[in-house]
Amino acid sequence: MHHVEELTFTSALLNWKFAFWWDLLIVLLGGTYAAGVARLRRGNPSRTWPAHRGWLFASGLVGLFVATNSFVAVYSHALFTMHMVQHLMLIMLVPALLVHGKPLRLWSELDESGRVERILRGRAVGMLTHPAWTMVLYSVVLVATHLTPFMQVMLLNPWLHHAESVLYLVTGYLTFLPLLGTEPTRWQRFPYPLRVFSALMGMGPDTGIGVILMMADDPLFPAYGRMRDWWIDDGTLTVLADQRLGGAIMWFFGDALMAVFTLVLVRRWMRVNGSEAGFGDWLESARRSALVETASEAEPGVASLRTAEDLDEDERARQAYNAMLAGLARQDEQRSGRQ
């Protein structure tokens, strides 16, 4: 079955498609973001919104437009290699750029009532964006769409391709929001050592699945052979060769993008101070939350009050200990100065 003409440099430039719903989403996101920045500046001229955030968000929307309208989208149903390019754009590159644009922070700064920030810092959003959960989601989505019959079914039912694209985009945004973002959520102060560790662990699924696709002896998605009648008979890029090349792209470029993200996180880590540079306050706040929730479940009312008092006592003791250490440090400095 012949669907698209042979991929050449000319056909790549000329073969674009109009993805109405995707383009509508891009226009709505871009227009809402621009209107929010304008409203923020108009409401209070002293409040500025860094220009680089806007450029990063716009770059993410441009990447989304290319992934859904260009030859990448046109040929993603004919070549597994092109599907993999689109996949990496939707699940990694575009979400990372959108996260760095900080749309949630813009939204919260426009809301003077503070309701938006309360929602973003609430339990529901906190659970949805929990770093452990999002990394598991990322891995499961990769496995489910590449090592199961899903890809074969998707090729025979084009509407599933749009569902897959939405899944990649949402999964990528949820994954990189706590990892790369500093949005006003519960994970805004997520320690950078854990961020770096999570990013390194994120290389695992790309590497493992990429190697499996490269090492397979038979095509896992034979339906790709029905989507084109070129580059197969002459052996230029058979279905199996196409699959192996796609696996190599997933392995190399997936890990390369995650390595870039890791370097960005390491650079930030070296520049931050306080709890984000280590585990101190973050672990303490996690301990306090766990104690309050445990006591509330065990003895609602009295137990929760007692736990709050115990926590206050612990906090006072911790502050007194820190004050003592600071006093000893000042005494040492004074003695050193007299000497």
Q: What's the Cα-to-Cα distance from 338 to each of 241, 324, 325, 327, 330, rounded to whole Å?
A: 76, 21, 20, 17, 13
Rg (the chain; Cα; Å)? 25
41 pLDDT above the threshold of 70: yes
Cβ neighbors of 223 (< 8 A, separation 6 or more) are 152, 155, 156
Q: pLDDT-based confidence at 304, cuts 50/70/90?
A: very low
Please give the helix or strand (H or E) that residue 281 lies within, else none.
helix 280-298
Question: How high is the mean pLDDT of the chain?
Answer: 84
Residues of the chain with pLDDT > 70, as a percent, come to 78
CA dihedral 288, 185, 278, 291 (to 10 degrees): 10
* Cβ 232 vs Cβ 239: under 8 Å: yes
Lowest-confidence pick of 14-28, 140-154, 242-256, 292-306: 292-306
Q: pLDDT-based confidence at 189, cuts 50/70/90?
A: confident
| Count of CB atoms situated within 10 Å of the CB of 99 | 25
Q: What is the pLDDT of residue 306?
A: 47
Q: pLDDT-based confidence at 314, cuts 50/70/90?
A: low
Tens digit of each residue's pLDDT (9 = 90 or more) over 275-295: 556 655 555 455 555 554 454
Higher pLDDT, 40 or 272: 40
Residue 236's SS3 state is coil
